[in-house]
């Protein structure tokens, strides 16, 4: 497998076009409620767009992202962009980190250094990882799949091929959101290559029938009902008509921002504002990886592909789960054990939400280290 060094470099033409579009935004009327129940409030989107236009500095953020060693290769006829940050410790454990939607490699930028160089961040050489962090096909700087069939299973198979091409015959895998589904598929479909998997979001398992729910199960059922009734519209749209949605998001930076910003509000551990959990620059870094690469449509297609074909595999490799309290649907261990048959670690976190590595990097790193120490 041939790999090529990669440096993020968004053209001035794209940045100039972004500024012009932000300056000429046609705004809708204000919402008719005093909260977020109709979507992101107009005032907040306008504030964020003004910040994006007048204070946010992409070139500085780009330089920060380029501190990591990045490469591009082709696997299964699709270009794959990835961070490959090797530890100074040769015996480090290879680990692939997989993001989801509306995430990107940006989510992991605060955990890569502690994972690869643990002695500089309170750990020991035994905690070290060689980190591989790819952009999903259709996301960020990876290529856009040119044909049908690029669902979770094919991405998982592609990532295993990527790891083997880098010389890692056995490795660990970690993920949340779609990254959790991909990581689960890696563990289920390729146990001979996978040391173990660590998840910060669990694919919902089976609830035993004929039993009254415990308090924990009731909370999960209520969260699932809320998600179904009030929080899953994006998923239905992306899973049924991603192309139609894409015309609006590809043409409007304010629209792309709002589409993602709503999830930073809904899915982080915050006190009413997403900025309680993430800085404006961090959120805009993530939005930029969708806007600058024009990947709103191609990223949404993962829903269309996977909702039609995803068949969760039973996972027999060692599994660790980090349960963050503001996850979309809190995981229930007894429901998960039918899919993950060898759960070695189940950590209930004191704080944090869906974007675990982004929101709570220290807790994330500590739990990843703790789990893989058991399975190396």
What DSSP designation does 355 have?
Answer: S
* Catalytic status, residue 354: yes
What residue has token string 């767009």?
49
Buried b (16+ CB within 10 A) or exposed e, 117-139: bbeeeebeeebbbbbbbbbbbbb
**Is residue 120 within a helix (H) or strand (E), and if so which, with residue range?**
none
At residue 225, what are phi and psi to the nearest 5 degrees? -65, -40
Q: How far apart are CA 215 and CA 281, in angstroms?
A: 38
* DSSP-derived secondary structure letter, 136: P
Alpha carbons within 13 angstroms on the beta-carbon side of residue 310 total: 19
* Active-site position among 81, 84, 190, 354: 354
| 226 in catalytic set | no
Distance CA(264)–CA(279), nearest Å, equals 11
Alpha helices in 292-360 (DSSP H): 296-309, 333-336, 356-359
> How many whole angstroms separate alpha carbon 209 and alpha carbon 82?
43
Grouping H, G, I as helix, E, B as strand and the rest as coil, residue 55 is: coil
CA distance 110 to 65: 10
> Active site includes 127?
no
Alpha-helix residue ranges (DSSP H) falling in 9-144? 12-23, 42-54, 58-65, 112-116
Residue 280: CB atoms within 10 Å: 15
The Cα–Cα gap between 347 and 349 comes to 6
The active-site residue out of 127, 177, 269, 285 is 177
Q: How far is CA 25 from the centre of its chain?
A: 28
81, 303, 340, 367: the catalytic one is 303
Task: Give the separation between CA 117 and CA 125, rounded to whole angstroms.
Answer: 8
Among all residues, which ones are annotated catalytic? 177, 303, 354
């Amino acid at each position: 497998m041939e790999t090529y060094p990669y440096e993020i470099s968004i053209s001035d033409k794209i940045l100039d076009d972004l500024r012009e579009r932000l300056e000429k935004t046609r705004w809708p009327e204000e919402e008719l409620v005093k909260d977020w129940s109709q979507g992101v409030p107009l005032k907040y989107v306008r504030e964020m767009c003004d910040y994006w236009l007048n204070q946010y500095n992409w070139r500085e953020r780009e330089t920060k992202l380029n501190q990591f060693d990045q490469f591009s290769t082709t696997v299964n006829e699709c270009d794959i962009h990835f961070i490959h940050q090797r530890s100074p410790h040769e015996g480090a454990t290879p680990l692939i980190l997989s993001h989801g939607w509306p995430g990107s490699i940006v989510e992991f930028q605060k955990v890569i250094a502690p994972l690869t160089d643990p002695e500089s961040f309170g750990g020991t050489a035994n905690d070290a990882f060689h980190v591989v962090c790819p952009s999903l096909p259709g996301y960020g700087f990876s290529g856009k799949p040119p044909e049908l069939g690029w669902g979770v299973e094919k991405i998982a198979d592609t990532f295993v091929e990527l790891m083997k091409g880098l010389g890692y015959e056995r490795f660990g895998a970690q993920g949340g959101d779609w990254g959790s589904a991909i990581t689960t598929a890696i563990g289920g479909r390729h146990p001979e290559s996978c040391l173990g998997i660590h998840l910060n979001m669990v694919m919902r398992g089976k609830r035993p029938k004929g039993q009254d729910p415990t308090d924990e199960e009731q909370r999960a059922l209520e969260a699932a009902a809320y998600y179904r009734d009030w929080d899953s519209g994006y998923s239905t749209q992306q899973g049924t008509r991603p192309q139609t949605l894409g015309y609006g998001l590809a043409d409007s930076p304010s629209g792309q921002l709002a589409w993602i910003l709503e999830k930073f509000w809904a899915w982080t551990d915050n006190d009413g504002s997403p900025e309680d959990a993430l800085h404006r620059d961090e959120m805009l870094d993530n939005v930029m990886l969708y806007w600058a690469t024009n990947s709103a449509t191609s990223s949404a297609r993962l829903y269309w592909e996977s909702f039609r074909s995803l068949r969760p595999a039973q996972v027999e490799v060692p599994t660790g789960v980090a349960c963050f309290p503001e996850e979309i649907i809190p995981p229930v261990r007894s429901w998960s054990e039918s899919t993950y048959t060898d759960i070695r670690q189940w950590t209930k976190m004191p704080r944090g939400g869906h974007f675990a590595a982004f929101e709570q990097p220290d807790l994330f790193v500590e739990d990843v280290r703790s789990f893989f120490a058991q399975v190396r």
